[in-house]
Amino acid sequence: MSILCSFLRQCGEGGTSKKAQVPFAEFIERDEQATKSPDRLKNPHGFYRDMAQKMVGEYQAQLKEFLANTQLLARQPVVAPTLKSACTLCNDGLMPAGGYCSCEVGVLRQQIAEHQSKSAGATA
């Protein structure tokens, strides 16, 4: 078993991976980028331990940032979309003579009105 394999097994059995799971494929990818001359490593065990710890740290930082952003998003008020009609027949979905226009805004207004009257009827 190589030093890398034994180290990763060690991590999986209660080592650094308990803090954050770094996918094995990413570890190998980082190794290929970082380790130009593997046979010249003086302390391979330490080298891979440091690399894994660094990756775990990066993962935790990413997770922290993600959670912070999610909490930030959760606090944002939900804003209803503004309807803008390009229709020239109606005034914002309402016909001058009364009733709803057949355009997108008119149909939506009618659906909302019908839903509201149904809801009002259900509670009365």
Q: Which residues bind Zn ion (CB under 5 A)?
A: 87, 89-90, 101, 103, 106
Minimum Å gap between C-beta 92 and Zn ion is: 8
Nearer to Zn ion, 1 or 97 (CB): 97
Displacement of CA 120 from its chain's centroid (Å):
38
In terms of CB distance, is 29 or 92 closer to Zn ion? 92
100: CB partners within 8 A, 6+ apart: 90, 93, 94, 106, 107, 109, 110, 113
Q: Which is nearer to Zn ion, 35 or 110 (CB)?
A: 110
CA–CA separation, 1 and 13 (whole Å): 16
For the chain, first and last CA: distance in Å?
75
Nearer to Zn ion, 11 or 105 (CB): 105
CB of 98 to Zn ion, least distance (A): 13
Burial class (CB in 10 A: 0-12, 13-18, 19+), 59: middle
